[in-house]
């Protein structure tokens, strides 16, 4: 049903906080035997924001993406922030990033697109529609998440997997082969409570619910994994059918870096356990909303995804939502 | 530059919390002389959420909009939440609303679009692009904000103006005259700190900044008003020029219900102080992200906006951003 969207990813960039927490350091901090945190989480190291704000990381990633695209801010008419978490409750993230960028007199539109860990994917799809419609010419999408403040690493399996960071992409109208073939997402409300942070919004504000106002990240990993694993094969089949693209035509699978177990499962289940899957989980952990664009960055800059090649962006996120985009780079 | 976007608003709906706080009650609560809060704020009554969650209000408004459109959920392929505030920090608002709606086996996409008080306007524009691109057929956009939990009404002028609520619109592809002629927005980062809630995100999380973790809404009303008032005339001229529409062709101005002063100023400055401006501020106060779609609802259901008539959606929001859409209903 979707028309082809003629959009090209002109450049990408990433940024991580300065502080690094290695598996060995985490073992020591938690009083665990050497190797234990790596065995449980699969994360060798993750970056944790101590001094940096999400807007600062986002600005750094966006600048790198723009430089990589060989473009100037004056050519950009919309800045989209597609993070899973907020920097402040108000204003929205993209306004905070714009202030951080200090672009002088250049005026542009800013907005947020949000869908937990699928925020970048939804933004890529929507902004491609906006470019195809002639609404915007060149768009920067940036995802920046600082989630480690809200996790409790003593719960290694469900909290020890996260890392902070940001990643950005520059989109422009494509005159060549670059395009989105199909985009699809579904939300499974039966899993809405499988992954959540109750505080931070109007529901459990301290005035009414002081006991919840400091709530930390909660994940029910097993039912979440089971729900996504049940839906994913049919979801991917429908997406590829809509795109008219076969699995073997895909140069790369670029998945959300959810967890070691999830990545291994999806690679095997979908037949991408032959080196065609981008996997940076061990280096960065699960970077929440920044995870998918970080994987996209490495698809291009490490795996050498070439213009004209097809790839599949795929992920799941709190909600619970599943989303995918089949595109030609 | 924008192509015409063939999109029709098929239906609208609103929802407010049960509890009402009148000007007289507020006077009494604050120990003010009778009439004082009304004199300063211009708000006769506002609804304040005591029992309701933002997702519940959103679900009620969305159901009403769908009924008004004469459509069923099975026809909707995307649910967009366009609020200024979060319900919880995670997952995103639209996932919370979907869970509240309990739609059974119907599967649809969900996502958030955020831009403070311009969230609905940005969502309307983007989702019109998505409909024009063939990405979605029928879309529900809902804005729900519970902001009164974070305001301190003792500061009448800058905090006593807010009210809680939700409003929704159903969009569908238009075969007739209904369309967006032009949409435009700019962000003025010099005003990023004029209107903010510091807590609720990663920047001032309680772990690092316990003194900020309970931060309330802050507004610097005078510089905010001055900044927007300076930019607005040129902004509106550029928007109307892009749309090829003259002020006198507009049946209605549908503004964000920012404040009594802002509404009076914009009506006079733009020449809509002749009854062509939707003004529900006295009844609801500033409903933040829900304000603009609430005004849209009353444009249709009270002012009798007719199919084929042109109108201007216009607003400003924390960021500071200014945005407008010229459309034929």
Residues of chain B neighbouring A127 (CB-CB closer than 8 A): 126
Q: Is B216 on the interface with A (CB under 8 A)?
A: no
Q: At residue A1, does pLDDT exceed 80?
A: no
SS3 assignment, position A204: coil
pLDDT score of A316: 96
The alpha carbon of residue B116 is apart from the nearest alpha carbon of chain A, in Å, by 6
Q: At residue A93, does pLDDT exceed 80?
A: yes
Interchain proximity B208–A85, CB inside 8 Å: no
pLDDT score of B216: 83
Nearest to B185 by CA among A112, A56, A55, A84: A112
Q: Is A76 on the interface with B (CB under 8 A)?
A: no
Q: How many helices (H) and strands (E) does chain A have?
A: 10, 13
Q: What ipTM score was computed for the predicted complex, to two decimals?
A: 0.95
pLDDT score of A304: 96
pLDDT score of A202: 85
Q: At residue A19, does pLDDT exceed 80?
A: yes
Q: Is B111 on the interface with A (CB under 8 A)?
A: yes
Give me the domains of chain A, ranges plus CATH numbers: 7-176 (3.40.47.10), 180-328 (3.40.47.10)
Q: What is the mean pLDDT of residues A93-101?
A: 98
Q: Which two tokens stand for residue A8?
A: 């090209």
Nearest to B260 by CA among B233, B229, B240, B285: B285
Q: What is the mean pLDDT of residues B311-329?
A: 97
From A119, A125, A187, residue closest to B135, measured CB to CB: A125
Q: Is A24 on the interface with B (CB under 8 A)?
A: no
Nearest to A246 by CA among A201, A289, A310, A308: A310
- A214: Cβ contacts below 8 Å, ≥ 6 apart: A199, B206, B213
Counting one residue from chain A and one from chain B, the pairs whose CB atoms sit within 8 A come to: 294
pLDDT score of A214: 64
From A54, A112, A134, residue closest to B2, measured CB to CB: A134
Q: What is the mean pLDDT of residues A102-107?
A: 91
Q: Is B292 on the interface with A (CB under 8 A)?
A: no
**pTM score, whole prediction:** 0.96
Q: At residue B328, does pLDDT exceed 50?
A: yes
Half-sphere exposure of B260 (CA within 13 A, CB side): 16
Rounded Cα gap, residues A20 and B69, in angstroms: 53
Interchain proximity B89–A208, CB inside 8 Å: no
From B115, B132, B133, residue closest to A112, measured CB to CB: B115
User: Could you tell me if B15 and B8 are in contact, meaning their C-beta atoms sit under 8 angstroms apart?
Assistant: no
Interchain proximity B95–A321, CB inside 8 Å: yes
Residues of chain A neighbouring B89 (CB-CB closer than 8 A): 85-86, 150, 197-201
User: Could you tell me if B63 and B70 are in contact, meaning their C-beta atoms sit under 8 angstroms apart?
Assistant: no
Q: At residue B210, does pLDDT exceed 90?
A: no
Q: How confident is the model at residue A212 (pLDDT cuts 50, 70, 90)?
A: low
Q: Is A51 on the interface with B (CB under 8 A)?
A: no
The alpha carbon of residue A18 is apart from the nearest alpha carbon of chain B, in Å, by 16
Q: At residue A274, does pLDDT exceed 70?
A: yes
For an interface test with B, give the residue of A52, A81, A92, A182 to mutate (most B CBs within 10 A).
Answer: A92
> CA of B131: which chain A residue's CA is closest?
A129
User: Could you tell me if B289 and B119 are in contact, meaning their C-beta atoms sit under 8 angstroms apart?
Assistant: yes
E strand map for A160-309: 165-173, 179-187, 195-196, 218-219, 250-255
Q: At residue A20, does pLDDT exceed 90?
A: yes
Residues of chain A neighbouring B206 (CB-CB closer than 8 A): 214
> CA of A105: which chain B residue's CA is closest?
B188
Q: Is A317 on the interface with B (CB under 8 A)?
A: yes
Q: What is the mean pLDDT of residues A161-190?
A: 95
Q: Is B218 on the interface with A (CB under 8 A)?
A: no
Q: Which two tokens stand for residue B40?
A: 């300063």
* pLDDT tens readout for residues A75-90: 999 999 999 999 999 9
Q: At residue B2, does pLDDT exceed 60?
A: no
Q: Is A180 on the interface with B (CB under 8 A)?
A: no
Interface of A with B in 90-109 (CB under 8 A): 90-96, 98-99, 101-103, 107-109
The alpha carbon of residue A84 is apart from the nearest alpha carbon of chain B, in Å, by 7
> CA of B186: which chain A residue's CA is closest?
A109
The alpha carbon of residue B274 is apart from the nearest alpha carbon of chain A, in Å, by 31
Q: At residue B1, does pLDDT exceed 50?
A: no
Three-state DSSP string of chain B: CCCCECEEEEEEEEECCCCEEEHHHHHHHHCCCCCHHHHHHCCCEEECCCCCCHHHHHHHHHHHHHHHHCCCHHHCCEEEECCCCCCCCECCHHHHHHHHHCCCCCCCEEEEEEECECHHHHHHHHHHHHHHCCCCCEEEEEEEECCHHHCCCCCHHHHCCECCEEEEEEEEECCCCCEEEEEEEEECHHHCCCEEECCCCCCCCCCCCCCCCCCCCEECHHHHHHHHHHHHHHHHHHHHHHHCCCHHHEEEEEECCCCHHHHHHHHHHHCCCCCCECCCHHHHCECHHHHHHHHHHHHHHCCCCCCCCEEEEEEEECCCEEEEEEEEC
Q: Is A49 on the interface with B (CB under 8 A)?
A: yes
Q: At residue A216, does pLDDT exceed 90?
A: no
Interchain proximity B192–A109, CB inside 8 Å: no
Q: How confident is the model at residue B125 (pLDDT cuts 50, 70, 90)?
A: very high
What distance lies between CA B183 and its chain's CA centroid?
16
Residues of chain B neighbouring A58 (CB-CB closer than 8 A): none
Beta strand A45-47 pairing with A195-196: unpaired
The alpha carbon of residue A188 is apart from the nearest alpha carbon of chain B, in Å, by 8
Q: At residue B154, does pLDDT exceed 50?
A: yes
> CA of B191: which chain A residue's CA is closest?
A99
The alpha carbon of residue A102 is apart from the nearest alpha carbon of chain B, in Å, by 8
Q: At residue B207, does pLDDT exceed 70?
A: no
Who wins on pLDDT, B260 or A104? B260
* pLDDT tens readout for residues A293-319: 999 999 999 999 999 999 999 999 999
Q: Which two tokens stand for residue B33?
A: 């002389």
Q: What is the mean pLDDT of residues B37-64?
A: 96
Interchain proximity B89–A199, CB inside 8 Å: yes
Interchain proximity A95–B187, CB inside 8 Å: yes
Q: Which residues is B183 bridged to in the sheet?
A: B325
* pLDDT tens readout for residues A137-149: 999 999 999 998 8
User: Could you tell me if B183 and B312 are in contact, meaning their C-beta atoms sit under 8 angstroms apart?
Assistant: no
Who wins on pLDDT, A210 or B215? B215
The alpha carbon of residue A275 is apart from the nearest alpha carbon of chain B, in Å, by 31
Please provide the average confidence, as pLDDT, over all residues in chain B: 94
pLDDT score of A3: 64
Q: Which two tokens stand for residue B115?
A: 């831009």
The alpha carbon of residue A318 is apart from the nearest alpha carbon of chain B, in Å, by 5
Least confident of A216-220, B62-66, B108-112, B169-173: A216-220
Q: Is A284 on the interface with B (CB under 8 A)?
A: no
Q: Which two tokens stand for residue A260?
A: 């070691």
High-pLDDT (> 70) share of chain B, %: 96
pLDDT score of B190: 94
Beta strand A7-15 pairing with A165-173: antiparallel
Least confident of A24-28, B2-6, B92-96, B285-289: B2-6
From B95, B107, B118, residue closest to A319, measured CB to CB: B95
């Amino acid at each position: 049903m979707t028309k082809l969207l003629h959009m090209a990813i002109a450049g990408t960039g990433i940024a991580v906080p300065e502080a690094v927490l290695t598996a060995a350091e985490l073992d020591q901090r938690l009083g665990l035997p050497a190797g234990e945190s790596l065995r449980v989480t699969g994360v060798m190291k993750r970056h944790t924001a101590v001094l940096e704000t999400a807007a600062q990381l986002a600005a750094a990633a966006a600048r790198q993406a723009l430089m990589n695209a060989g473009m100037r801010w004056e050519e950009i008419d919309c800045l989209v922030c597609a993070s899973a978490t907020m920097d402040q409750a108000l204003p929205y993230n993209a306004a905070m990033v714009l202030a951080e960028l200090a672009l002088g007199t250049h005026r542009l539109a800013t907005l947020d697109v949000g869908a937990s860990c699928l925020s970048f994917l939804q933004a890529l799809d929507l902004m491609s529609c906006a470019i195809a419609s002639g609404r915007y010419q060149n768009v920067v999408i940036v995802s920046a998440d600082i989630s480690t403040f809200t996790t409790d690493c003593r719960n290694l399996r469900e909290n020890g997997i996260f890392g902070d960071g940001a990643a950005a992409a520059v989109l422009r109208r494509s005159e060549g082969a670059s395009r989105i073939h199909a985009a699809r997402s579904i939300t499974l409300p039966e899993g809405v409570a499988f992954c959540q942070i109750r505080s931070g919004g109007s529901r459990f504000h301290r005035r009414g619910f002081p006991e919840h106002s400091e709530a930390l990240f909660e994940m029910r990993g097993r039912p979440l994994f089971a729900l996504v694993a049940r839906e994913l094969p049919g979801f991917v089949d429908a997406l590829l059918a809509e795109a008219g693209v076969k699995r073997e035509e895909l140069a790369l699978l670029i998945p959300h870096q959810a967890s070691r177990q999830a990545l291994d499962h999806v690679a095997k289940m979908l037949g991408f356990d032959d080196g065609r899957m981008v996997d940076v989980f061990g280096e960065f952990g699960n970077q929440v909303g920044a995870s998918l664009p970080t994987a996209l960055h490495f698809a291009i800059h490490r795996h050498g995804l070439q213009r004209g090649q097809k790839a599949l962006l795929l992920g799941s996120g709190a909600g619970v939502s599943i989303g995918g985009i089949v595109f030609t780079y």
